[in-house]
Structure 1
Amino acid sequence: MKRWNMVDFRYHLVSLVSVFLALAVGIILGAGPLQNAIGDTLSNRVEALRASRDDAREKFDAANDELKSSNAALKKAGEQLVDKTLTGRRVALVVMPGASDGEITAAQESLTLAGATITGRMDLNAKYASSDGAAHRKAVAGQVGPALGQPQDAGPDDVIAAAISHILRKGVNDGASAPLVAALTAKGDALVKIADLKQPADAVLVVAPKELRLANASKAKKAAAAKVYTQAFKDLSAKGPTAALGADGGKNDLIVSLRGTKSGSTVDHAGGTQASINTPIAVASEILGGHVHLGTGQSAESPIGTRVDVAVPGAAGSNAANGNG
């Protein structure tokens, strides 16, 4: 029994000695012959990674500079493409809930650069399409329908869209517009907000958001509201020249829904250089009686439109006035 205990002890002793010997050898090699080799290998790898990073950064900067140059060149060419094409023309804006201020401003600037005058804007609020406000819209439609000569079987939303079209295209100072404005902007029950719009517009530009901004609305209610706003665009297009400007044209973007009505003209990628060129072209095309769908989003026909000149002959700044028409 004692002999087995002795063997056990010796076995463990040899094992422990082996472990410490291996550890000592590792320390000696690491601090000696292998130290430089390991250090050199790690240093080389760090230097290679640093060089790769710097190379990638240089390529990114070069690509970014090239993109900026291309964008600047496209913008310059675009300005020449639409220059004076809308001189003497008046355009009214219709803004749907959720459209960004930046996109609205960019749209106004692009139209102004093409020579157009912005008559003002009308914002459609959440009540305009809310399922909870359907009864109120029906009452408003009943109030304004007869003055517009709408058929008795016309839907409430169609009648309201007709009222909006009249205000935009005739101006708020038109005699028939006054009761329409009063009905649509009634305190506490307003469906729209009006800014200026004193002058009649030759065309309407609808600015649509990527997604409707409707407070506390469920997904189903947003989908139902989107249908109402889409129908509004279709109704406005039926009444006169109407174009829509929207987001990047992805599968669920509202601009794709508007484009699907096969009415009016549409432009995607609002706020971008392409849209700044395409927006005046789309509006001009509408005034001329044509429909175009421009951009790189779903169902777009062309990334960039072709020049369409609908400047009023003799208007200050038009090609005709300058002897170029």
Structure 2
Amino acid sequence: MINFRYHVVSLTAVFLALAIGLVVGTAALNGPVADSLRENVNGLRKDNSLMRQSVNDMQKQLETEEDFIGEMAPLVLTGKLTSRRVVVLTLPSGRDQTEGVVKMLRTAGADVTGRVTVQDKFVNPDSNNNLLELAVTAARPNSAPTANLPGNGHGVETSSALLANVLLERPAGSPTVSEADRRSVLQKYAEAGYLTPEDRITGAAEAVVLVTGQPYVDKDSAKKDESVVKVAEQFDRAGAVVVAGMGSTGGNLVAVVRGDPVLSQTISTVDNANTVQGQLVTSLALAEQLTGKKAGQYGVGDNAASRLPKLPE
């Protein structure tokens, strides 16, 4: 029969073994294993510090390069767009790069007749009927031609055609839109929350720069991206167009234009307009459109023809 003393001795042996194990294990860790772990941790810390320094160096290099491009811009752009009238239309995803694009246009001598920001509501599928009604009734100006407005029931397309009519100059022989009607149309769209004029429109432009960015990613993304293309198509029918974008994949406007054999013949694109380099190239691409009557696809994407238009010798 196992007595109480036997249990005490057994438990004592177990606890003694655990204590010996802890002492031995601690001693082992305090030896080569601990030294190895310390070396690994120190190595990782050093690698992390080096990578952080590398990122900082690259960021400084990028900033230096952009500063250099900014300083070179007057030498490259001066006179390229002198007295050319340009309206800047910012699509919802392009707000961050608009100021840089406008700065380069003015450096090139362009007369920026105005800046208009399109709101997300404009390309929302739920706005279709309201946009259609606004274009054919409420906002229709007396002096702007409406016979060429699309009659397919697409609100964004019809409203874009009307806005192109009033923001861009009409072909020779066509009625001239009065300043009062131009202001009235923009005011009605602004009051309805579809766009925001950033400053006073000073007259009809001969070209438009569409500033855009990445495609939509929500549940209505396909319809919204299609509407963005409709905006570009209607302004392309009325005047010279350069799309100043960010990236050239994923179905954004730059990618769609470059992938369309018809649009790519008349619409120029720049896929890095979020950088100083791309903003400078946007002005060069517009000059090529207006003086050479030629469209080109520029930037750093795989589907770009070159980084910038060929400068005259």
1:133 alignment partner in structure 2: 130
1-structure distance, mates of 2:213, 2:86: 19
> Which amino acid is the alignment partner of residue 164 of structure 2?
S
Are the structure 2 counterparts of residues 74 and 67 from structure 1 closer, same or farther at C-alpha, using a change threshold of 3 Å?
same
2-structure distance, mates of 1:14, 1:72: 81
**Bigger RCO of structures 1 and 2 (CA < 8 A, at least 6 apart):** 1
2-structure distance, mates of 1:59, 1:305: 33
Matched length: 296
Shift of 1:285: 1.7
- Normalising by structure 2, report the TM-score: 0.73
Shift of 1:103: 1.5
2-structure distance, mates of 1:32, 1:152: 86
Sequence identity percentage:
22
2:251 alignment partner in structure 1: 252
1:148-190 per-position Cα deviation (integer Å, ceiling 9, x unaligned): 273587557666444433432339xx95334454345338557
Are the structure 2 counterparts of residues 32 and 131 from structure 1 closer, same or farther at C-alpha, using a change threshold of 3 Å?
closer
2-structure distance, mates of 1:185, 1:33: 80
> Does residue 122 in structure 1 map to residue 116 in structure 2?
yes
> Does residue 170 in structure 1 map to residue 169 in structure 2?
yes
CA RMSD of aligned residues (A): 4.0
Are the structure 2 counterparts of residues 225 and 34 from structure 1 closer, same or farther at C-alpha, using a change threshold of 3 Å?
closer
2-structure distance, mates of 1:254, 1:107: 17
The counterpart of 1:51, out of the listed 20, 40, 46, is 46
Task: Give yes or no for contact 2:149–2:158 (8 Å, CA) kept in 1.
Answer: no
Task: Give yes or no for contact 1:90–1:116 (8 Å, CA) kept in 2.
Answer: yes
The counterpart of 2:107, out of the listed 91, 105, 113, is 113
Structure 1 portions without partners, runs of 5+: 310-325
Are the structure 2 counterparts of residues 144 and 210 from structure 1 closer, same or farther at C-alpha, using a change threshold of 3 Å?
same
1-structure distance, mates of 2:288, 2:312: 6
1-structure distance, mates of 2:131, 2:223: 12
> Does residue 22 in structure 1 map to residue 17 in structure 2?
yes
2:77 alignment partner in structure 1: 82
1:25-57 per-position Cα deviation (integer Å, ceiling 9, x unaligned): 345546768745555444444433333333334
The counterpart of 2:274, out of the listed 271, 274, 277, is 271
Task: Give yes or no for contact 1:274–1:304 (8 Å, CA) kept in 2.
Answer: no
1:1-325 aligned at under 5 Å gives the runs: 2=1, 5=2, 10=6, 15-26=10-21, 28-29=23-24, 35-37=30-32, 39-76=34-71, 80-100=75-95, 102-125=96-119, 126-127=121-122, 130-137=127-134, 139-140=136-137, 143=140, 147-148=144-145, 150=147, 154-155=151-152, 160-170=159-169, 176-177=177-178, 178-179=180-181, 181-183=183-185, 185-186=187-188, 189=192, 192-194=195-197, 195-211=199-215, 219-220=219-220, 223-259=222-258, 260=260, 261-262=263-264, 263-288=266-291, 289-297=293-301, 299-307=303-311
Shift of 1:230: 1.6
Shift of 1:248: 2.3
2-structure distance, mates of 1:166, 1:301: 31
1-structure distance, mates of 2:272, 2:280: 11
1:256-279 per-position Cα deviation (integer Å, ceiling 9, x unaligned): 334443341112233312322221
Task: Give yes or no for contact 2:104–2:279 (8 Å, CA) kept in 1.
Answer: yes
Which sits farther off after the overlay, 291-300 or 87-96?
291-300
Are the structure 2 counterparts of residues 148 and 128 from structure 1 closer, same or farther at C-alpha, using a change threshold of 3 Å?
farther
> Which amino acid is the alignment partner of residue 87 of structure 1?
T
Are the structure 2 counterparts of residues 308 and 236 from structure 1 closer, same or farther at C-alpha, using a change threshold of 3 Å?
farther
Are the structure 2 counterparts of residues 258 and 86 from structure 1 closer, same or farther at C-alpha, using a change threshold of 3 Å?
same
2-structure distance, mates of 1:52, 1:192: 50
Task: Give yes or no for contact 2:84–2:109 (8 Å, CA) kept in 1.
Answer: yes
Task: Give yes or no for contact 1:251–1:298 (8 Å, CA) kept in 2.
Answer: no
Are the structure 2 counterparts of residues 235 and 298 from structure 1 closer, same or farther at C-alpha, using a change threshold of 3 Å?
farther
- Normalising by structure 1, report the TM-score: 0.71
Structure with higher Rg: it is: 1
Counterpart of 2:48 in 1: which secondary structure?
helix
> Which amino acid is the alignment partner of residue 168 of structure 1?
L
Shift of 1:281: 1.5
